[in-house]
Amino acid sequence: MKAALVLLVFFAASAFALAQDQAAVAAAEAACGPKNVKFDARQDATQHPVSPPDSDKALVYVVQDIGEVQCAGCALTKVGLDGTWIGANQGSSYFFFTAEPGEHHLCVNWQSRLGIKSRAFAMANFTAEAGRVYYFRSRVIFTRADYIFDLDPLTSDQGKFLVASSGFSVSRPKK
């Protein structure tokens, strides 16, 4: 009887811990956007826009750096801000957007037909100030057996360099 009670308490505690973890993951993923939203994205070599920040908003660049990987159509990542998908990067590319002053939650999610890859996402948060420029680097680092997916803030020097050496990404949600 005691063994059954111990097992019951153990399973109940495990279920509660799992529910807590799932709730934390769901809350974190809420920074991204709805899972069913997909993007078409391509690099446009005819454009290389760089924009000065508005005086009343922040300007945010998201640069995707896939390093030396050479592959057509690889590493399309969606970018979300505060629970809404706002664009995507294809390959080593960048795009930018404006953000109201205040705290924001940024998310990148690998868009893939392979379920295991589409679960890969990374997040960062920042407090935007009007008139400032922010740079973030999204990286997919491939290893022999796996990959690493991350999103990091950059210094303005790093950000300017990566923007200048990357293609501009033009994206739109798929219908």
What are 58-107's pLDDT values in tens digits? 999 999 988 765 555 567 899 999 999 999 999 889 999 999 999 999 99
Q: Where would I find the beta strands (DSSP E) of the chain?
A: 39-44, 58-65, 76-81, 84-90, 93-99, 102-110, 121-128, 133-142, 147-154, 167-173
Query: Which residues on adjacent β-strands are paired with residue 164?
Result: none
Of 81, 84, 87, 120, residue with least CA distance to 104: 81
Q: Identify the CATH number of the domain defined by range 39-173.
A: 2.60.40.2890
In 71-146, beta strands by DSSP E:
76-81, 84-90, 93-99, 102-110, 121-128, 133-142
Alpha-carbon span 146 to 90, nearest angstrom: 20
Contact indicator for 51, 133 with CB cutoff of 8 Å: no
2-11, 99-108, 149-158: range with lowest mean pLDDT: 2-11
Predicted local distance difference test score (pLDDT) of residue 115 = 60
- The pLDDT of residue 54 is 82
The owner of tokens 């690998």 is 110
User: Do residues 65 and 138 lie in contact, with contact meaning Cβ atoms separated by under 8 Å?
Assistant: yes
CB neighbours (10 Å) of residue 57? 17
| The two three-digit tokens of residue 162, written as one number | 């990566």
Tokens of 151: 């999103």
Q: What is the domain partition of the chain in residue ranges?
A: 1-30, 39-173
- Say how many CA atoms lie within 13 Å of 69 toward its Cβ: 20
Confidence of residue 49 (pLDDT cuts 50, 70, 90): confident
Give the pLDDT score at 137.
96
Give the length of the chain. Answer: 175
CA-to-CA distance for 119 and 32, rounded, in angstroms? 12
